Structure 1
């Protein structure tokens, strides 16, 4: 088992992104218990220390909380999740627009492409 990781990004960051994605797309819900560090490490095929770092980072971001003797849970603060969703959206758009600009595409070209893509995927 395990996850195929990209070579150009730290594994712990890829795991954080994966969990954040699961929260934002609803795979993990508000207040849901996360697997234990050991369980998730085995599932992901990583060292337990790496997974511990992931959980620590998520807690520092206030996206998860640890309850003594019970484990780690997705925050119940829906405003925190909404803010995370907005931040991720802005980050993705910013990265996309920087890439578009670097290749010299015009705004009109990109808008047309997005319209075409949207129509073909409805």
Structure 2
């Protein structure tokens, strides 16, 4: 039997994103950073719902989206596991989504009054936490 560790996700009630989006984003980030390795077993839908004190349907929706995108692998009777990395989207779709995300981000922060360099440094710091360090 595979041991399932609790996911260290936090749901922020003040976050404008829906709860299932927060779960999706959190799991993606943990996989991209290497915190969740390929083959790692995720908590059951009910288990994560209890941990986060959310409706199980919310977790099921997040897991379903992550599975459809290729981040997770659902195995009948066994559970949900981190999938082997693959090209999830075409290069064109990846570029379109990056452009959309950058435009939304710039629209959100442009009125905050920070100099561009401070914003870039902050984003770079966040990205460094998301990507595992390469060791030679």
Task: Tell me by how many angstroms 1:97 deviates.
Answer: 3.3
Give structure 2 stretches of 5+ with no counterpart.
1-9, 126-136
Preserved contact between residue 39 and residue 84 of structure 2 (Cα < 8 Å): yes
Do residues 96 (structure 1) and 105 (structure 2) align?
yes
Choose between structure 1 and 2 for higher RCO, CA contacts under 8 A separated by at least 6 residues.
2
Cα distance change on mapping 1:99 and 1:72 into 2, 3 Å: same
**Length-normalised TM-score, structure 1:** 0.67
What are the equivalent positions in structure 2 for 1:1-122 lying under 5 Å apart? 3-80=11-88, 90=98, 93-99=102-108, 101=110, 103=111, 109-111=115-117, 113=118, 117=121
Q: Determine the C-alpha separation between the residues in 2 that align with 1:49 and 1:64.
A: 17
1:95-115: CA deviation from partner (whole Å, max 9, x where unpaired): 4334455x397xxx514x368
Cα distance change on mapping 1:104 and 1:17 into 2, 3 Å: closer
Q: How many residues are aligned here?
A: 109
Give structure 1 stretches of 5+ with no counterpart.
none
**Length-normalised TM-score, structure 2:** 0.61
Measured on the aligned residues, the alpha-carbon RMSD in Å equals 3.3
1:65-97: CA deviation from partner (whole Å, max 9, x where unpaired): 1111110111112554xx8xx77x946544433
Cα distance change on mapping 1:44 and 1:30 into 2, 3 Å: same
